[in-house]
Structure 1
Amino acid sequence: MRSGIESYLKKYLRDDLRIMSAEDRKYSYDTFDLNNDGRKEIFVILISSYFCGSGGCTLLILNPDFTLNSRMTLVKDLPLQASSHTTHGWRDLVIQSRGDHLMKYNGKKYPSNPSTQPKVKLADVPGKQPILEGAFDKTLSF
């Protein structure tokens, strides 16, 4: 799993790698089946000042074959939450970005900016399950 993620990141960031320091190349990941197909999607949070600002960090959701499904910015706090409710066959996500925001799959991807999506009360989200819990404590380098 880790080698597939790192191979993807090096390809995805190939133009940036030459200017990135070793400290800039930090990430953490988790897996979760979002579309109930028996294969887990891969959540990669990029954790460094290169990818994080005052609004949050960059999150990539990769398909099981290590291709990009969705990219989000301004992801502030972890864990994310996956709801049992689905849209277009994919679980809704709750992502913190100055409040809890509901992210619905549009048939191709999730929205890129959580702060532009509707706010929700986490207590009202059905069947929530955490994703990337403790990710900031489990950083890796690529």
Structure 2
Amino acid sequence: MMYLGLQSSFWQLSQRAHKVFRVIFHEAQYRVIGKDEVYLSWETAQDVFESEGIKMSRATYFRGVAELVEKRIIAESVRTGIFFLNPALIFNGNRATFIQQIITDDKEVLKEAQQITAKRALEAHRELSGKKLKNIGESIKIAKRD
């Protein structure tokens, strides 16, 4: 999933960075579903380029990776070949699960989420109760007419 924040950056990327981005999409689609990191190697890129009929040299590939890092679309990790996807721009996985993990990790956010949920549940209950009372009133009016 790409967010609008990436749109302006995406169109400013060079052709080499666009090609490397295709490798990232390929990996995100087939290998790293639900994760925030991707393994980028020249060997993997060669396979993707070959399957899609793209020509690119090794040096150009690494310049494309460097450009994506510079533009903050991906970030290097301390492990060789592993790059983090910028979650503000690209998300790979179930967003609800991701948000739930953030909520459960932060006790203040968890408390606030519980309060919001309780408030919405109470409002829904009141609305439903109001509709039931209105329906009962309508049925009494109809019964009196008959």
Structure 2 length-normalised TM? 0.23
More helix as a share of residues = 2
Larger relative contact order (Cα-Cα within 8 Å, sequence gap ≥ 6): 2
Structure 1 length-normalised TM? 0.24
More strand as a share of residues = 1
**Radius of gyration: which is bigger?**
2
